[in-house]
Structure 1
Amino acid sequence: MTATLPGRLIHQAQARPEAPALVFDEETITWADLADLVLRTSAWLRGRGIGPGDHVALLCGNRPAFVVAFYALANLGAVTVSVNTGLVGEGLRHSIVQSGARAVLAEQGLLDQVAADIAPVLRERRLLAFGGEADLFAAARACAPDAIYGGPGSEPLSIIYTSGTTGLPKGVLNCHEAYLASGRWMAASLAITAADRIMVCLPLFHANPQMYALMSALETGCAVVIRPKFSVGSFFDDARRFGCTMFTYVGTLLAMLASRVRERDTDHRLTRCVGGGCPPEVWRAMQDRFGITPYELYGMTEVGGWVTGNSTEAYRFDTCGRVRPDMEVLIVDGHDEPVAPGTPGEIVVRPKKPFTLLLGYWDNADASWQAARNFLFHTGDLGVFDAEGFLSFRGRLKDVIRRGGENIAPAEIEAALLAHPDIDEVAVVGVADPIFGEEIKAVVVARREIAARDVRRFLEGRVARFMLPRYVQFVAALPKTETAKVIRRDLLALPGAIFDLAEARRD
């Protein structure tokens, strides 16, 4: 029974019924209450036609309703399609349509914000909307609890969309066991116990909080403290208010804390944080200024969340730690031959245990096959192992821009800009940034003079806000190879004026 998420949930409900499982503002949900709500929500969803194998798009913000819905869908044997709440237009519709979602389960407030964008896809799908916890939980409590899901841990559980180098994002399909294994080894690596309280500030639709926080809680019985969003101003006050002991991060979150909170602050219970993308200077600031130890790891949605990480037993500054015991991680050359320690190459992964990596890219056999060349999952990332087995991340072989924890495909922005009547060609590239990791630069070949701010305004409503470029540069021609492919590396050092739209972004 414990090989699935509902099985682990029931285990914790029986072992720690009165202990807090979820904390949100003034609301605390115990493990027993959470299990009861999940089984009743499962029954409510089943009564509305959701069953085993169905894909359901979940559009919900950071709140207990997301967790309850996620576990309830798992109890039905359904697959949750975690919808990025920042998406608009075609990007939003793509995740719902491409995933094969039969239904959309949505928070009414978010639904109202994208009503026009989402309307076309709702004509062919069931819509289940709720106003908030009071609304959803009242409907659930009117139902008798469902039986506990009895399927195997290898059954599909989740689709999360992640951007590739070209085209629209791909849907990563993961199973129960991949999620549980992430939490199992995370708890062991960071010595997480039932006494911990993990603060979640990152969006719950991401693999990071799902696999690092929720699964660690399912493994240990600790509490998850959900915050609606990350705020520098309230971060440490929230940590004190809720007695948080750790949190998950992307590099942007830590960089913002380090750059904007200059005073020393150790008056809190936070001891550690876990995630990826922490620069050395920020790492030092977290330790010296705030008394918080970053546990840097290497991972992605496709590899079950993470495959190497620093731990309480093996820790090295400015590395991504050692390989997880149930994984094999290699550094290979262009022919997939392993290279010696100290030699950079592509990071590839192979599981030692079944069903701990992605089941595949949903409805994208070509992408699944290409990523699994020679029975190794090719991450497209560059890394190097030292002599003692600690991994260092050296950048990406792919063209994906990683801004503030979001993977952004340049092609998606380029396609939107090419619809502009006065833009002839465009190329988008990532520019190093100390806060967001990378910022976005659009290099434009225009048919006539255009204001830089008009380029950004044209994209508003066509792509998510986090995809709006900070920099715009106008050129007479894009740098290209003999076969007319854009030379992206040359986009960073083109001569001419570059317009900085930082104030216009405000995000």
Structure 2
Amino acid sequence: MTTLSRKLVQQAETRGSKVAVVFDEMELTWAELCDLSLRTSSLLQAQGIGKGDNVALLCGNRPAFLVAWFGLANLGAVTVSLNTGLVGEGLRYSVTQCSAKAVIVERALLEAKRADLEPVLEGRTVIVFEDEADLFARATAFAPAAPYEGQGSNPLSIIYTSGTTGLPKGVLNCHEAFIASGLWMSRFLNIVESDRIMVFLPLFHTNPQMYAVMSALEVGCTLVIRPKFSVSTFFEDARRFECTMFTYVGTVLAMLTSRLREGDSDHSITRCVGGGCPPDVWRAMQERFGITPHELYGMTEVGGWVTGNSSENYRFGSCGTIRPDMDVQVFDQEDKPVAAGTPGEIVVRPKAPFTLLLGYWDNPKANWEASRNFWFHTGDAGQLDDDGYLYFLGRLKEIIRRGGENISPFELETALLDHPDIEDAAVVAVPDPIFGEEIKAVVVAKRAFPPDSIRSFLKGRIADFMLPRYVQFVASIPRTETQKIQRRQLQENNDGMVDLERTRENA
């Protein structure tokens, strides 16, 4: 096993002059990234930060995030990647629940969130930097620290899951889990030194950290950091920086395909990787832009991802095949494996050590509940086909149980997004005295259309028992910073909800 520091030093020694990071006009070679990170270790060590300390990092998408992250890793400290979109109690909870010894914060974010942060900063070391020029100048005043001599099993990261209900849980992962993710990602997608990976998803999230940054650390390719995702500048950036791939969440791809109808193939992007790509969006990405989506299945707890569509084993509509270092099964409610093609809960266990989470930080109850019978229980519904390809069906807690039938919101949402007048959609349960639960389709319309036309559109596309009884038009679907639908908000808001059964009776 190895550590991030050893991998970083290895890239600096073998590809020192190769560009590692691009950010607007700034470029850092692997040698420069390594040197700055080791000097930042010394800077942080002078502030009393050392092995085993939890340190909250509040920083936008910029090279400073990576330098601070690698710098902390080299001390054996644990980076707590704070969601930059959090405010109020949600932000304070992340700082306090992880028992952060220190907070490293970009000044612009500190000023924007000062009132929210100040109540939890007392007694903690606070390190504020203006920008790269400021942080790098302060770091270069120190000699580089020695590369970390710890083990790959040592803790590296706490990332809080963006739960749609209840308080988030801090997922503790080690160096080896991150490195294994990059190793297998680079092999599944044939990522090589000449690739340039565009990163616009927030760096505080598992997706860019494990899929993009770790792949680059594995093969020595280039990371192109963008501050945020923008449909209007996406292909302009792709051409400007000669990007060859990017990581995604499904919402990003849906935005591209819905707003760029004319298509664009004048770029060097060949593939993208992530989760949540509906079939119609999948087809459009390939046909309109010449980009191949590599859908995978993963979560922070399972080392980022456990199945994926590789260059060699690729199946449209699936989440791909299982990583060689993982074991993935689908269980029934009694924790027994189900036959191929039968839905159940996706469960995971590692074949190699330290590739899954070390645990939920300071949450033994969650650890116990998730690790029943020596398998990590994801809480997700899915099924495997005869060839070992996994299909994601949605969160188990989000499954709608209508009159004895189990209905996946994800499947129904995918069908709704095929509607030419629907921009976005979500499906949630509504309590019902007869069926137990009924189905509500919440829709963002591109243009006005009759609510009852939704049923006629869906007829023949889905089973009759899945047809929604209620339709509600909204301006936008509420989502977390990581694009998960906030279903509880949709269940609590029934403003303007139309009962299609009653509409039909009155017709």
Q: TM-score, normalised on structure 2?
A: 0.82
Matched, 1:231 2:230: yes
User: 3-state DSSP class of the match of 1:380?
Assistant: strand
Offset of residue 231 of structure 1: 0.2
In structure 1, the residue matched to 2:51 is 52
In structure 1, the residue matched to 2:364 is 365
For residues 337 and 86 of structure 2, what CA distance do their matches in structure 1 show?
Answer: 39
Q: After the TM superposition, which of the residue ranges 227-236 and 119-128 deviates more from structure 2?
A: 119-128
User: 3-state DSSP class of the match of 1:114?
Assistant: helix
Give the 3 Å change call, closer, same or farther, for CA 495–166 of structure 1 in structure 2.
farther
In structure 1, the residue matched to 2:217 is 218
In structure 1, the residue matched to 2:13 is 14
Matched, 1:473 2:469: no
Q: TM-score, normalised on structure 1?
A: 0.82
Aligned residue type for 2:240: R
User: 3-state DSSP class of the match of 2:85?
Assistant: coil
Aligned residue type for 1:282: V
Offset of residue 493 of structure 1: 6.9
Paired residues of 1:163 and 1:400 also in contact (CA < 8 A): no
Aligned residue type for 1:155: N
Aligned residue type for 1:80: T
In structure 2, the residue matched to 1:114 is 113
| Alignment deviations for residues 472-493 of structure 1 (CA, whole Å, 9 cap, x no partner) | 7359xxxxxxxxxxxxxxx997
Aligned residue type for 1:246: M
For residues 369 and 495 of structure 1, what CA distance do their matches in structure 2 show?
Answer: 44
In structure 1, the residue matched to 2:26 is 27
Aligned residue type for 1:386: D
User: 3-state DSSP class of the match of 1:398?
Assistant: helix
In structure 1, the residue matched to 2:4 is 5
Give the 3 Å change call, closer, same or farther, for CA 340–441 of structure 1 in structure 2.
closer
Offset of residue 396 of structure 1: 1.0
Offset of residue 398 of structure 1: 2.4
In structure 2, the residue matched to 1:277 is 276
Paired residues of 2:306 and 2:326 also in contact (CA < 8 A): yes
Aligned residue type for 2:57: L
Paired residues of 2:162 and 2:481 also in contact (CA < 8 A): no
User: 3-state DSSP class of the match of 1:36?
Assistant: helix
Matched, 1:252 2:272: no
For residues 213 and 13 of structure 1, what CA distance do their matches in structure 2 show?
Answer: 18
After TM superposition, list the pairs within 5 Å mapping 1:189-200 onto structure 2. 189-200=188-199
Aligned residue type for 1:254: L
After TM superposition, list the pairs within 5 Å mapping 1:426-437 onto structure 2. 432=413, 434=417
Matched, 1:84 2:83: yes
Give the 3 Å change call, closer, same or farther, for CA 225–12 of structure 1 in structure 2.
same
Give the 3 Å change call, closer, same or farther, for CA 373–472 of structure 1 in structure 2.
closer
In structure 1, the residue matched to 2:460 is none
Give the 3 Å change call, closer, same or farther, for CA 386–471 of structure 1 in structure 2.
closer
Aligned residue type for 2:79: T
User: 3-state DSSP class of the match of 1:270?
Assistant: coil
For residues 35 and 192 of structure 1, what CA distance do their matches in structure 2 show?
Answer: 21
Matched, 1:306 2:305: yes
User: 3-state DSSP class of the match of 1:273?
Assistant: strand
Offset of residue 254 of structure 1: 0.3
User: 3-state DSSP class of the match of 1:3?
Assistant: coil
In structure 2, the residue matched to 1:124 is 123
In structure 2, the residue matched to 1:138 is 137
> In angstroms, what is the RMSD of aligned CA positions?
2.7
For residues 171 and 228 of structure 1, what CA distance do their matches in structure 2 show?
Answer: 25
For residues 396 and 152 of structure 1, what CA distance do their matches in structure 2 show?
Answer: 35
In structure 2, the residue matched to 1:394 is 393
For residues 424 and 372 of structure 2, what CA distance do their matches in structure 1 show?
Answer: 32
For residues 7 and 502 of structure 2, what CA distance do their matches in structure 1 show?
Answer: 58
In structure 2, the residue matched to 1:262 is 261
- Percentage identity across aligned positions? 63
Give the 3 Å change call, closer, same or farther, for CA 165–255 of structure 1 in structure 2.
closer
Paired residues of 1:441 and 1:471 also in contact (CA < 8 A): yes
Offset of residue 235 of structure 1: 0.2
Offset of residue 56 of structure 1: 0.4
Give the 3 Å change call, closer, same or farther, for CA 258–29 of structure 1 in structure 2.
same
User: 3-state DSSP class of the match of 1:335?
Assistant: coil
Paired residues of 1:164 and 1:400 also in contact (CA < 8 A): no
In structure 1, the residue matched to 2:37 is 38
User: Which blocks of at least 5 consecutive residues in structure 2 are unaligned?
Assistant: 401-408, 418-422, 432-473
Paired residues of 1:309 and 1:323 also in contact (CA < 8 A): yes
Offset of residue 345 of structure 1: 0.5
Matched, 1:181 2:201: no
For residues 438 and 3 of structure 1, what CA distance do their matches in structure 2 show?
Answer: 42
For residues 170 and 261 of structure 1, what CA distance do their matches in structure 2 show?
Answer: 37
Matched, 1:354 2:353: yes
Aligned residue type for 2:177: A
Offset of residue 167 of structure 1: 2.2
Offset of residue 124 of structure 1: 2.4
User: 3-state DSSP class of the match of 2:71?
Assistant: helix
Higher relative contact order (CA 8 A, sep 6+): 1
Give the 3 Å change call, closer, same or farther, for CA 242–439 of structure 1 in structure 2.
farther
Give the 3 Å change call, closer, same or farther, for CA 52–308 of structure 1 in structure 2.
same
Aligned residue type for 1:97: T
Give the 3 Å change call, closer, same or farther, for CA 64–15 of structure 1 in structure 2.
same
For residues 75 and 132 of structure 2, what CA distance do their matches in structure 1 show?
Answer: 20
Matched, 1:296 2:316: no
User: 3-state DSSP class of the match of 1:129?
Assistant: strand
Paired residues of 1:441 and 1:472 also in contact (CA < 8 A): no
Q: After the TM superposition, which of the residue ranges 221-230 and 120-129 deviates more from structure 2?
A: 120-129
Paired residues of 1:442 and 1:472 also in contact (CA < 8 A): no
Paired residues of 1:22 and 1:64 also in contact (CA < 8 A): yes
Give the 3 Å change call, closer, same or farther, for CA 465–357 of structure 1 in structure 2.
closer
Paired residues of 2:43 and 2:138 also in contact (CA < 8 A): yes
Paired residues of 2:40 and 2:71 also in contact (CA < 8 A): yes
Give the 3 Å change call, closer, same or farther, for CA 390–107 of structure 1 in structure 2.
same
Offset of residue 85 of structure 1: 0.3
Offset of residue 125 of structure 1: 1.2
Offset of residue 221 of structure 1: 0.2
For residues 354 and 18 of structure 1, what CA distance do their matches in structure 2 show?
Answer: 34
Q: After the TM superposition, which of the residue ranges 119-128 and 369-378 deviates more from structure 2?
A: 119-128
Offset of residue 174 of structure 1: 0.2
In structure 2, the residue matched to 1:420 is none
| Alignment deviations for residues 131-177 of structure 1 (CA, whole Å, 9 cap, x no partner) | 01001000000100000000000000000001447521000000000
Aligned residues: 437
Paired residues of 2:162 and 2:482 also in contact (CA < 8 A): no
Give the 3 Å change call, closer, same or farther, for CA 3–496 of structure 1 in structure 2.
farther
For residues 437 and 298 of structure 1, what CA distance do their matches in structure 2 show?
Answer: 21
For residues 199 and 241 of structure 2, what CA distance do their matches in structure 1 show?
Answer: 12
Matched, 1:328 2:327: yes
Paired residues of 1:441 and 1:470 also in contact (CA < 8 A): no
User: 3-state DSSP class of the match of 2:397?
Assistant: coil
User: 3-state DSSP class of the match of 2:493?
Assistant: strand
For residues 439 and 128 of structure 1, what CA distance do their matches in structure 2 show?
Answer: 43
For residues 229 and 92 of structure 1, what CA distance do their matches in structure 2 show?
Answer: 20
In structure 2, the residue matched to 1:104 is 103
| Alignment deviations for residues 83-136 of structure 1 (CA, whole Å, 9 cap, x no partner) | 000000010001110011111100000111110011100012111000010010
